Homo-oligomer: A and B are copies of this chain.
Amino acid sequence: MPHILLTGFEPFNNETTNPAWEVVKLFEGKKILQTHTVHIAQLPCEFGAANTMLADLLTRIPAEIVVCVGQAGGRVDISVERVAINIDDARIPDNAGAQPIDQSIIEDGPAAYFSTLPIKAIVKNLRDNGIPASVSQTAGTYVCNHVFYGLMHYANTHPHILRAGFVHIPYLPEQAAAHPGAASMALEQMENALRCLLETSISQAKDIKLGAGATH
């Protein structure tokens, strides 16, 4: 019986909720495509501690697929991240008050890792299901990218993890109601999106060719 690990974050930056956790917790114990069992976890929004907890989870749960989910307040769609970079550069303090600037996440680690999710197939399937989605060329330089990089660094030396990656999701409507000008997405649609993403990650042996680049 194959396993999936799905993580979300605790709220940060003065929010009282985090859409990543709200949607991830709906998948506790769920089966995807009747074959894969989902395990969930909430990570702290803290540099260092988040990756320590993630490494501990990865040690205990023999997951074939690992997807970390984070809030991207202001983005309009499900954005599937392409690449994690080896740098912390915090615009705001994390939940423990740390604000690293230009520090490597893994000293002497490679500059970046690419997601091993079938990111193009995911975007295509999401859109085909009426869910706004895109490939993102940057996961930022905050705790989300930190965890994404930590995940890919671990997966790089643990081949039982077949696919791993990160996805950013918009504000929930009730958050956007307090941030005039910000886009949002309904929780139910986020849930459908995540299920579609996991199903595609299971069934798509090889990613498809689909243009989703940026000129700059």
Chain A positions within 8 Å of B, measured between CB atoms, are 13, 70-77, 82-83, 85, 87-92, 99, 101-102, 110-114, 120, 126-127, 129-134, 137-142, 144, 168, 173-174, 176-186, 188-189, 207, 209-216
Q: Is the CB of A174 within 8 A of B130?
A: yes
Task: List B contacts of A130 (CB < 8 A).
Answer: 173-174, 177
Q: Is the CB of A141 within 8 A of B102?
A: no
> A182 touches which one: B76, B111, B182 (CB < 8 A)?
B76
Bound: A137/B141 CA distance, A: 8
Bound: A171/B147 CA distance, A: 33
Known: A101-B211, A111-B112, A132-B173; 11 extra A-B contacts, CB below 8 A, are A73-B216, A89-B211, A91-B211, A92-B215, A110-B111, A130-B173, A139-B216, A141-B213, A144-B215, A173-B185, A183-B184
Also in contact, A214 and B141, with CB within 8 A (given A110-B110, A174-B130, A177-B131): yes
Q: Is the CB of A173 within 8 A of B131?
A: yes
Copies of this subunit: 4
**Smallest CB-CB A-B distances: 3 pairs:** A89-B213, A112-B112, A130-B174
Q: Is the CB of B185 within 8 A of A184?
A: yes
Task: List B contacts of A141 (CB < 8 A).
Answer: 137, 213-214
Task: List B contacts of A168 (CB < 8 A).
Answer: 216
Task: List B contacts of A176 (CB < 8 A).
Answer: 76-77, 132
Also in contact, A215 and B89, with CB within 8 A (given A112-B111, A189-B173): no
13 pairs, CB–CB < 8 Å, chain A vs chain B: A72-B216, A73-B215, A76-B182, A82-B87, A99-B211, A101-B211, A127-B177, A130-B173, A133-B177, A137-B141, A141-B213, A173-B189, A184-B185
